[in-house]
Structure 1
Amino acid sequence: MIKNWLAAGAVALSLGLTATAAQAQTTTVPGEQVGLATGAPLPEGIYALNTFLYRTPDASPANIGVDVGVNIPVLVWSTPLVPFGGRIELLLAPPTVFTFGRQSGANGLGRDTSINVGTFVGGIWAFNLGGNVGVSLLGGVYLNELNGDRGVLTTNAGGFAGLATPQLASNTYRAGIAISYTGDGYNLTANLTGNFYDSPATFSGNNSFGTRGPFIISDSLNLDLTATKKFGKFEIGAIGYGTVNLDTSFNSLAFNNRGRFALGALIGYDFGPVTAQVYAAHDVVSSARFTTAAGNTREDLRTEIWGRLIVPLYSPTPVAAAPTPIVRKY
């Protein structure tokens, strides 16, 4: 059961967003895969995961910026197919993003939003290398272009407040590699994820704010790190994650924003049929900047709180052992 839920996350998939183009980030949210042994192959079966993120910027004064929530339901089918010894696992994830404007009033960013964003479809090819070590390869696509013209934030009065989801102007092609050690109750995992875009990209629908594009969307790399240990039903350990934008040129949505990295801690509990995890992290470095009311420039650091549930839904019935004949010797 331990390895089932450690690997059951194979991948948690989502899209995050921020209030301005200067804060543009990868479609795959950094940190969404920590706590999961993404390199280890899953036993055959069907698994459900739900991961929720709440992010708040540390920007001051406190009435600026936008808080973000991301809900990531994932369905994983670990198939009976094992070509060349690697198990094929199929993934489906339709994430939802929520924004919560800090400002109030008719002209503030007080209008809360929720958007069902690009559904992810993909697969994993996972190998057991022996010695409790696993390696997996992931490939897939976020179907962002199905979202049409969902690319702006508005004020309570209906005015333009900034770009919210420029990543939705292009499908996101995703590739990843992960390695995990899961022996003796440990989960030591490193997961590298790449996001690649059809850039420049534009929104296909009508947009009264004139923000249909083209958008130069930066390709990017994410690194998620996990180092936890099981003590009975409890799990505890350290996590770290970050992202690097590969194009920070003037015309890029990631202009002057090379990336960020966060450190934090995780605690989990195995309830039997359901496993729960909670983890939190804070940026220790960020190249994104914001300007205070006094005109000073500071790092735009963030605090993130995560929660996750993992539920195995189905596993094949074990084959009954053949009866052993009783032999008596007289």
Structure 2
Amino acid sequence: MMKNWLAAGALALSVGMTATASYAQTTTVPGEQVGLATGAPLPEGIYALNTFVYRINENTGPGSVDVGVNIPVLVWSTPLVPLGGRIELLVAPPTVFTFGKNGGPAGARDISINVGTFVGGIWAFDLGGNVGVSLLGGVYLNELNGDRGVLVSNAGTFLGAPVLPQLASNTYRAGIAISYTGDGYNLTANLTGNFYDSPASFGGPNIAGFGNTRGPFTISDSLNLDLTATKKFGKFEIGAIGYGTVNLDTSVGSLAAGNRGSFSLGGLIGYDFGPVTAQVYAATTVVTSVRRSETVEVWGRLIVPLYSPTPVAAAATPIMRKY
């Protein structure tokens, strides 16, 4: 069961979104892949995974918000193994939520924002010795069904828009991961790149009374690094995690202007219930290039195998008799 649920995580490379350009405007949420052996091939079958993060921002000024991201993923690990690497296909429709931190007329209303549906695939190899390596490619279809997001006060006045200007462009995603899963360990490093057609604009006109919500916006390409070091003790799992992001264009005019990135450290605990595996992890910012962008993040995840091929029954051994 250990191998199965770790591999399920390997393919369920969930997708998500930061809620403000000032944090890190990468479309893929930093930290969404920790706790998963993302380098390991997934056994043939169909898997569901749901990851949710609640980000508590330390800024408590007027209009400030906490952020939640829900990332449901459906994964099909196909029977195709070209050159020894399994092909795995996945789809995910993330949603971002913002929650106003203050009441009264100056507080922000709660909103939800659709991130463009992610479609992609993974080519994962078992190198032997409990080591696996995977390559990921895909795209967030932001131009098809991504939202801009408009932040409004409880009194109905404009606070900010667009909340997610990076969704003006489809996000092209590439990644590479390596995992060691022997002796109950999950030692994984996962590097993810997000690339944009920049500058980019939302379709349609600006939203009346809300300034420039259409663009064009100069969007920085970004790199995320997710690190996991955990060990299983029976049905329990415990260990350390770390994750961060680097923006490649921090020039004036970029959505990431002056924000080189950040890095967070924390811990993870998981439990194998049999048909379902659950994980909870938390982390806090330890390095950031933006003053007062520190956050505490609490994550929850469920991994559910939905289908696996029925094993072929062994042929009955003929009964030999002497007459």
State the TM-score, normalizing by the size of structure 2.
0.94
**What residue number does 2:71 align with?**
72
Once the two structures are superposed, the pairs formed by residues 1-330 of structure 1 within 5 Å of their partners are 1-9=1-9, 10-19=11-20, 21-59=21-59, 61=60, 65-106=64-105, 108-147=106-145, 150-163=148-161, 164-206=163-205, 207-208=207-208, 209=210, 210-290=212-292, 300-326=293-319
**Structure-1 separation of matches of 2:261 and 2:12:** 22
Listed as ranges, the gaps of 5+ residues in structure 1 are 291-299
In the TM superposition, residue 154 of structure 1 has moved relative to its aligned partner by 2.0
**Structure-1 separation of matches of 2:13 and 2:107:** 29
**Structure-2 separation of matches of 1:214 and 1:63:** 27
Does the 8 Å CA contact 2:48/2:72 hold for their aligned counterparts? yes
1:93-141 Cα offsets, whole Å, 9 max, x none, are: 00111001223223x2421001222100000000000011000000000
In the TM superposition, residue 64 of structure 1 has moved relative to its aligned partner by 5.5
1:157 maps to a residue whose letter is A
**Structure-1 separation of matches of 2:146 and 2:128:** 46
**Structure-2 separation of matches of 1:155 and 1:109:** 5
**Structure-2 separation of matches of 1:242 and 1:307:** 18
1:79 maps to a residue whose letter is T
Q: Secondary structure at the residue paired with 1:43?
A: coil
Does the 8 Å CA contact 2:108/2:151 hold for their aligned counterparts? no
In the TM superposition, residue 76 of structure 1 has moved relative to its aligned partner by 0.3
In the TM superposition, residue 63 of structure 1 has moved relative to its aligned partner by 5.6
**Structure-2 separation of matches of 1:62 and 1:161:** 12
Identity score, percent = 79
Q: Secondary structure at the residue paired with 1:8?
A: helix
Q: Provide closer, same or farther for how the CA distance between residues 260 and 148 of structure 1 changes in structure 2, counting only shifts above 3 A.
A: closer
In the TM superposition, residue 143 of structure 1 has moved relative to its aligned partner by 0.5
1:142 maps to a residue whose letter is Y
**Structure-1 separation of matches of 2:147 and 2:279:** 35
Q: Which runs of 4+ in 1 moved over 4 A?
A: 61-64, 326-330
In the TM superposition, residue 324 of structure 1 has moved relative to its aligned partner by 2.9
In the TM superposition, residue 255 of structure 1 has moved relative to its aligned partner by 0.5
Q: Provide closer, same or farther for how the CA distance between residues 322 and 148 of structure 1 changes in structure 2, counting only shifts above 3 A.
A: closer
Does the 8 Å CA contact 1:148/1:205 hold for their aligned counterparts? no
**Structure-2 separation of matches of 1:85 and 1:147:** 35
1:274-320 Cα offsets, whole Å, 9 max, x none, are: 00000000010111124xxxxxxxxx210000000000000000111
In the TM superposition, residue 149 of structure 1 has moved relative to its aligned partner by 5.8
**Structure-2 separation of matches of 1:148 and 1:125:** 27
Q: Secondary structure at the residue paired with 2:22?
A: helix
Q: Secondary structure at the residue paired with 1:7?
A: helix
State the TM-score, normalizing by the size of structure 1.
0.92
**Structure-2 separation of matches of 1:69 and 1:326:** 63
2:36 maps to a residue whose letter is L
